[in-house]
Amino acid sequence: MNESLKAMADAATAAIAYRDAVAGAAHTPVADYATIRAAFAAPTPEEGGDPQEIIAELIERASPGIRAQTGPRFFGWVIGNSHPTGVAADWLASAWGQNAANTLAAPSASAIEDIAAGWLLDLLGLPGDASVGFVTGATVANFVCLAAARSAVLEKVGWDVEADGLFGAPPITVLIGADAHATVYSGLKYLGLGAKRVQTVESDSLGRILPDAFQRALNDATGPVIAIAQAGQINTGVCDPFAEIAPMARAAGAWLHVDGAFGLWAQAAPDRAPLTAGVELADSWATDGHKWLQTPYDSGFAIVRDSAAHARAMAISASYLPPAEGAERDPSTFVPELSRRARGFATWAMIRQLGRAGIADMVEHHCRIAAHMAQRLDAETGITLVAPVSLNQFMVRFGDGADADRLTLATIKRVQDDAIAFLGGAQWRGDWVMRCSVSSVATTMAAADTSVDAIIAAWRWVEQEMTCPVT
Ligand SMILES: *Cc1c(COP(=O)(O)O)cnc(C)c1O
């Protein structure tokens, strides 16, 4: 075996040892950015090096700054587990070195995407003939879906946006829920639709679009309309009332896009599916693999009912590439990239790993864990659950009145410094909260209880230190 191949074995050995240890390890404090940057800082290498030494150096210098995102007590953001089976499949994607651009270059990578796409549509209860682009995450999935939307609504009024661009095109009205995710605005920005040139639709106290307000906005809109809803608000976990708003959008001839980065997976869990009832009536859906499906990073899916609009918006043609038409599905037809990672391997492996029943149980289990943690925290003096828990996300606030922002931020810092669990902060309706996302297959009820104990201990400490009456 040559030195490069030995380096692959070294990396695998180190990776396995890391995952074995992190499963039970505390969220120990990690070295910060500046420390790690200093550890790597060096002049540009003039000469090449030894493969095994390079990998050993990478492991040694990077390890102190590797946050345990795959650990059982990580609730910081909606981050799945990078499940070992998905990682193993992803290793092969790298080792096989497949450029998953088209069926000729990469028959296996292309075929497995097609199969995994069918499984995804089945699991998510979406139309079986919708097209699926395997992208880096929900940010790009939102962008791709909105590009298809832009193409379709302008085609209906006789404008070819792919050929002629937006200058001189009939103006598109974009309706968006008031509590949409920041990345949807990025998609609008990339597409020339404007992050600010939107009409915001009023939402309720939990962040759900109000159907009456949605209907009024549709009535007031002139010309082509794209409406953007979401499954899974990032702070409250709520889903928009699709069964009400999707028929309204359809009747008005508007394209309805759903950002369902994590929340769309409620569809795969029968007990939670009522939350997303009617979502299948939309025209496009963005979701992630690296959140609730537990694939390694990066993995997202852009799903579009009108596959012709999807292909029109994304397909790349050149004389040296096979034509995009035909029965065979080229991976690049539905994504912005030509050369790309073979993400289908990990997606296929994770669906095989969990199965329909495993995904349903996992989603349900995470929702139960979230409800349990929220209920325990809310029962403590001085800790308030900010909104009811319907899915896997919840928020708590510490202390009362004018001091609550300061005490909440201090408690978050204390929890992070204690490093037993990892949680972060967010602002909701102008107030600071501690936000909890339960989305890793590594998280057990016992890990959740240990984390709640740590949060309560941190709060007691903050309460003691920071709210002493002035004497
Ligand atoms: C995470 C998230 C996104 C962005 O997804 P990425 O995978 O980070 O690109 C978009 N919308 C919602 C609701 C999310 O939770």
Element (H, E) at 399: none
Q: Which ligand 1 atom is nearest residue 233's CA?
A: 13
- The encoded tokens of residue 239 equal 């889903």
Query: What does the alpha-carbon distance between residue 179 and residue 209 come to, in Å, rounded to a whole number?
Result: 8
Q: What is the mean pLDDT of residues 453-466?
A: 95
Residue 300: CB within 6 Å of ligand 1?
A: yes
Give me ligand 1 centre to Cα 438, in Å. 15
Residue 203: CB within 6 Å of ligand 1?
A: no
70 Cβ neighbours under 8 A, 6+ residues apart: 19, 22, 81, 82, 440, 442
Average pLDDT, the chain: 95
Query: What does the alpha-carbon distance between residue 123 and residue 301 come to, in Å, rounded to a whole number?
Result: 13
* SS3 at position 426: strand
- Give residue 327's pLDDT: 74
Show me where the domains of the chain are located: 3-66, 88-350
Count other Cβ atoms within 10 Å, centred on residue 44: 4
Residue 237: CB within 6 Å of ligand 1?
A: no
Contact call for residues 397 and 434 (beta carbons, < 8 A): yes
Residue 30 or residue 389, greater confidence? 389
Q: Which ligand 1 atom is nearest residue 231's CA?
A: 13
Query: What does the alpha-carbon distance between residue 355 and residue 322 come to, in Å, rounded to a whole number?
Result: 34
* pLDDT tens track for 226-259: 999 999 999 999 999 999 999 999 999 999 999 9
Residue 288: CB within 6 Å of ligand 1?
A: yes
Residue 459: CB within 6 Å of ligand 1?
A: no
Tokens 């050149």, located at residue: 318
- Give residue 114's pLDDT: 96
Side chain identity at 402, as an amino acid letter? A
- Give residue 323's pLDDT: 61
CA-nearest residue for atom 12, ligand 1, is 261
The Cα angle at residue 215 between residues 211 and 217, in degrees rounded to 5? 115
pLDDT beyond 70 at 19:
yes
- The encoded tokens of residue 454 equal 């740590």
Q: How far is CA 54 from the centre of its chain?
A: 32
pLDDT beyond 80 at 471:
no
* Burial of 345: CB neighbours in 10 Å, binned 0-12, 13-18, 19+: buried
With cut-offs at 50, 70 and 90, classify the pLDDT of residue 51: very high
Give me ligand 1 centre to Cα 469, in Å. 43
The whole-model pTM stands at 0.96
Q: What is the mean pLDDT of residues 128-135?
A: 97
Give me ligand 1 centre to Cα 138, in Å. 5
pLDDT beyond 60 at 470:
no
Query: What does the alpha-carbon distance between residue 310 and residue 301 come to, in Å, rounded to a whole number?
Result: 12
Residue 330: CB within 6 Å of ligand 1?
A: no
CA-nearest residue for atom 2, ligand 1, is 261
Tokens 């240890």, located at residue: 21
Could you tell me the CA-to-CA distances from 164 to 167, 197, 223, 314 in Å, in that order?
8, 21, 18, 15
Q: Which ligand 1 atom is nearest residue 262's CA?
A: 15
Residue 437: CB within 6 Å of ligand 1?
A: no
- Report long-range pairs for 17-25 (Cβ below 8 Å, ≥24 apart): 18/63, 18/66, 19/70, 19/84, 19/87, 22/68, 22/70, 22/71, 23/71, 23/72, 23/442, 24/72, 25/68, 25/71
With cut-offs at 50, 70 and 90, classify the pLDDT of residue 469: low
Residue to mutate, 288, 297, 393, ligand 1, most ligand atoms under 8 Å from C-beta: 288
Residue closest to 233 by CA, chosen among 71, 375, 435, 82: 435
Give me ligand 1 centre to Cα 114, in Å. 23
* pLDDT tens track for 400-450: 989 999 999 999 999 999 889 999 999 999 999 999 999 999 999 999 999
- Give residue 325's pLDDT: 58
269 Cβ neighbours under 8 A, 6+ residues apart: 359, 360, 361, 363, 364, 367
- Give residue 26's pLDDT: 66
Query: What does the alpha-carbon distance between residue 17 and residue 12 come to, in Å, rounded to a whole number?
Result: 9
- Give residue 30's pLDDT: 86
Beta-ladder partners of 199: 175
Contact call for residues 263 and 188 (beta carbons, < 8 A): no
Residue 30 or residue 96, greater confidence? 96
* pLDDT tens track for 175-216: 999 999 999 999 999 999 999 999 999 999 999 999 999 999
Residue 257: CB within 6 Å of ligand 1?
A: no
Residue 137: CB within 6 Å of ligand 1?
A: yes
Query: What does the alpha-carbon distance between residue 387 and residue 375 come to, in Å, rounded to a whole number?
Result: 11
Q: Where are the beta strands (DSSP E) in 266-392?
A: 284-288, 300-304, 383-385
Give me ligand 1 centre to Cα 318, in Å. 32
Side chain identity at 381, as an amino acid letter? T
Count other Cβ atoms within 10 Å, centred on residue 320: 4
Give me ligand 1 centre to Cα 261, in Å. 5
* pLDDT tens track for 299-346: 999 999 999 999 999 988 776 666 655 678 899 999 999 999 999 999
- Give residue 204's pLDDT: 97
Residue 22: CB within 6 Å of ligand 1?
A: no
Residue 285: CB within 6 Å of ligand 1?
A: no
CATH 3.10.105.10 for domain 88-350: no
* SS3 at position 257: strand
* pLDDT tens track for 369-380: 999 999 999 999
- Give residue 324's pLDDT: 55
Residue 143: CB within 6 Å of ligand 1?
A: no
- Give residue 466's pLDDT: 85
- The encoded tokens of residue 16 equal 């396995």
Residue 106: CB within 6 Å of ligand 1?
A: no
Give me ligand 1 centre to Cα 159, in Å. 31
Query: What does the alpha-carbon distance between residue 219 and residue 401 come to, in Å, rounded to a whole number?
Result: 41
Residue 292: CB within 6 Å of ligand 1?
A: no
Residue 214: CB within 6 Å of ligand 1?
A: no
Residue 390: CB within 6 Å of ligand 1?
A: no
Give me ligand 1 centre to Cα 137, in Å. 7
